[in-house]
Structure 1
Amino acid sequence: QAIDSLIASDQGRDVRQLAILNKNGDVAVYTGKNCIQFAGHIKGKGYSVQANLMATDKVWPAMSKAFENTKAPLAERMMAALKAAENEGGDIRGKQAAAMMVVRAKPTGNIWEDRLVDLRIADHENPIKELGRLLKVHRAYEHMNNGDLAMEHGNSELANKEYSAANKLMPESEEMKFWQAVTLANENKMDEALKLFKIIFRKNQNWKILTPRIADAKLLNVSKKDMERIMKCNE
């Protein structure tokens, strides 16, 4: 009914494409008869894929198949659909932009908590690949934030698991290694912690400067002797 109402009052309906999904998973889709080929849509259980101005008519079927066959969180399923579209030729005009937003099914009322994923690439030579990279970064920082929360609650074991997960996703990140080292030190796993501190301090001395500050803030809780070991580990 919502789509029927919208297109009935739209004089440009023949060139429009529209999809609506409700919280119960019901789907309604419309592709105008004058949308530039190749254009079409497929709706499935709780999802819709649609496309126009595509290089081939294989794009949206490939999107549907990828979305249904990917067993992962929603954002990763959407990413799989976008990659599948690109693999079938994608937009006939070429590549430029990509975006993705995922929100909670049941809102908390706080926008910063309800937007689970909000990524945008306005102009890039390979926007789908860049969107995938940003999603990976986003997931890494989710783990890191969970580690921070665990640290705040004094749960070093959980914090270490979260920082380890973040570090696996972004092994090049100095910050993620740093906080994992801090957590290991707090768990009295000094040999493991020192290996990471040594790597980090050699790359960037600012982390060494920061270390006593986080000790003052009670985020690094080690003995005076162990603190000296940390500060001298890269000498």
Structure 2
Amino acid sequence: MKSLILMLAVISSFMSVAQSIKPNDPLAHTYSIVARDAKTGQMAVAVQSHWFSVGTAVPWGEAGVGVVATQSFVNKSFGIRGLDLLKQGKTPQQALDILLAEDDGREFRQVAILDKAGRVATHTGKSCIDYAGHANGENFSVQANMMLNDEVVPAMEKAWNEFDGLPLAERMIAVLRAAENTGGDIRGKQSAALVVFAAEATTEPWNDKLIDLRVDDSDNPIKEIDRLLKVYRAYDYMNQGDLYVEKNDMKRAMEAYNAAMRMFPKNLEMQYWTAVTLANDKQIEKASEMLQGIYAQDKNWRELTRRLPKVGLLNVSEENLMLLLGEE
């Protein structure tokens, strides 16, 4: 009887140790990149996984500080704590060493840390599921686990070096695409995320995260996040156009609006506000022609036009308003 009790105690003790070593954290077996643009100083994380909403777990960052990707058996605290350690003056390697030293599940973790100077530190635990590995250098680190083959990480590193002429966000997506084209996650694909942070923090922290795109569930998340980035770029042109309007620089405003419409010629929103800008610039005939085409596709835009003069967004005479409404 005493032997049985002793045996059960030993088994119980072993199981407790095993459970403390193997974490119960959420899974995010995946591939990702943390990187810094040497020209602008902007920092970014991009990730794709066959797991729902990977963007809520893997990527972390702060303008003027750095970025973190934490994956495999995800220890989410590595994101916030890693950034705090960087703010305390620790190097990425020092921060990583501290995080791992305090984590019994370190061999199941995969994590990369990059600071605003472009220094990186990466860890792939011995218990990450094959194929798993990483490659890093100045301004970047690529890491992957549970890949179909051992060619994914080299393909990501090669893509990072080859696409150095692209803006940072587009370059990050090129790296994800290279990983997927080489085999990617052995389970397939489901979600992706892309975040880009400013090189330095400002007094307006709400503007310091420059790009924040997520695809939580998709048959082709990289294709979708690439599409969303193009939409983002188009609306960025629209915002530039609005700023030029405020400065009464209509020539540059129209150039920005036209750039947006060239990217998405069927987008009624972009067409509509371009037409409104033309009307405010006293180009009534051209504005009316555009608006009639918009109304033909969706009559609600006509009703919106009626409401704009009241709030000062459309400054035309009553006669010209009728022309714009197509009710002269």
Matching residue's letter, 2:239: N
**Distance in 1 between the 2:289 and 2:103 partners?**
64
* Corresponding residue of 2:288: 194
* Corresponding residue of 2:72: none
Q: Tell me the CA shift for residue 168 of structure 1.
A: 2.0
Q: Tell me the CA shift for residue 225 of structure 1.
A: 4.6
Q: Tell me the CA shift for residue 82 of structure 1.
A: 0.9
Residues 193 and 214, structure 2, Cα contact 8 Å, conserved in 1: yes
- Tell me: higher relative CO, structure 1 or 2? Use CA pairs within 8 A at least 6 residues apart: 2
Q: Tell me the CA shift for residue 176 of structure 1.
A: 0.5
Q: List runs of 5+ in structure 1 lacking aligned partners.
A: none
**Distance in 2 between the 1:98 and 1:183 partners?**
36
User: Does 2:299 match 1:205?
Assistant: yes
1:43 to 116, 136, 146: 136
* Corresponding residue of 1:168: 262
1:151-171 Cα offsets, whole Å, 9 max, x none, are 333332232222222212222
1:130 to 224, 227, 238: 224
* Corresponding residue of 1:13: 106
2:153 to 43, 51, 60: 60
The answer to which of 75-84 and 134-143 deviates more is: 134-143
State the TM-score, normalized to the length of structure 1. 0.89
1:43-63 Cα offsets, whole Å, 9 max, x none, are 132111111111111212222
Aligned-residue Cα RMSD (Å) equals 2.1
Matching residue's letter, 2:293: I
After superposition, residues 59-138 of structure 1 pair within 5 angstroms as 59-70=152-163, 71-138=165-232
Residues 288 and 325, structure 2, Cα contact 8 Å, conserved in 1: no
Matching residue's letter, 1:161: E
Residues 29 and 43, structure 1, Cα contact 8 Å, conserved in 2: yes
* Structure 1 residue ranges (4+ consecutive) displaced by more than 6 angstroms after TM superposition: none
Residues 122 and 141, structure 2, Cα contact 8 Å, conserved in 1: yes
* Corresponding residue of 1:151: 245
- The total of aligned residue pairs comes to 234
* Corresponding residue of 1:33: 126
Residues 185 and 222, structure 1, Cα contact 8 Å, conserved in 2: yes
Residues 140 and 167, structure 1, Cα contact 8 Å, conserved in 2: yes
* Corresponding residue of 1:218: 312
Higher strand share: 2
Query: SS at the partner of 2:308?
Result: helix
**Distance in 2 between the 1:226 and 1:87 partners?**
55
* Corresponding residue of 2:64: none
1:24 to 106, 117, 121: 117
1:160-185 Cα offsets, whole Å, 9 max, x none, are 22222221222221110011112223
Name which one, 1 or 2, has greater alpha-carbon Rg: 2
Higher helix share: 1
Residues 16 and 31, structure 1, Cα contact 8 Å, conserved in 2: yes
Residues 151 and 219, structure 1, Cα contact 8 Å, conserved in 2: no
Identity in percent: 50
